[in-house]
Amino acid sequence: MRYVMKQKILCWGNDFKIRNEAGQEVFFVDGRVFSLGDKLSFQDMSGNELAFIRQKLLSWGPTYEIYRQGELAAVVKKHLFTLIHCRFSVDVPGPDDLEATGSFWDLEYKFTRGNKPVAEVSKRWFSWSDTYGVDICDGEDEILILAATVVIDLACHRDGKRQ
């Protein structure tokens, strides 16, 4: 499934709209204002919370937790000591961890499980604001991958500055 994720420019907090390949808005990410660390609610268009993203404040490097129905679903962490390319791990309960690698400066990266690609994120076709194409393989957890994409955007582009 292909999605287009766009960060809203004129808003309080970090808000994102996510459209499906038909151009319909299917998800909304509502960033909380005036909170200690990033806190975001990943919702369907009816306002039902599908995931909650919370920044871990006391950790080495950018680390975020993704909760689903009150249970920890994943921990997304930026690897601090890597050569050439950045890496993020998406640690999920059990053996199905994901890794995101690529050029986060140019916003071209892939999610893999083992050596198998499961999703690709690209800004190459979008030149305005923070807009990304996210192409997710069939059978993958779309909410988790989209939420991890939001986390990577927050970790790499804090306050509009590339890190």
- Helices in the chain by DSSP H: which ranges? 142-156
Query: pLDDT tens digits for 34-84?
Result: 556 789 999 999 999 999 999 988 777 789 999 999 999 999 998 876 666
Going by C-beta distance under 8 Å and a sequence separation of 6 or more, which residues neighbour residue 157? 130, 163
Residue bearing the bigger pLDDT, 125 or 146? 146
* Domains along the sequence of the chain with CATH: 2-160 (2.40.160.200)
b/e code 32-58 from CB counts within 10 Å (16+ = b):
beeeeebbbbbbeeeeeebbbbbbeee
Question: Which pLDDT does position 49 carry in this prediction?
Answer: 97
Q: Per-residue pLDDT for 110 more than 90?
A: yes
CB 108, CB 117: distance < 8 Å: no
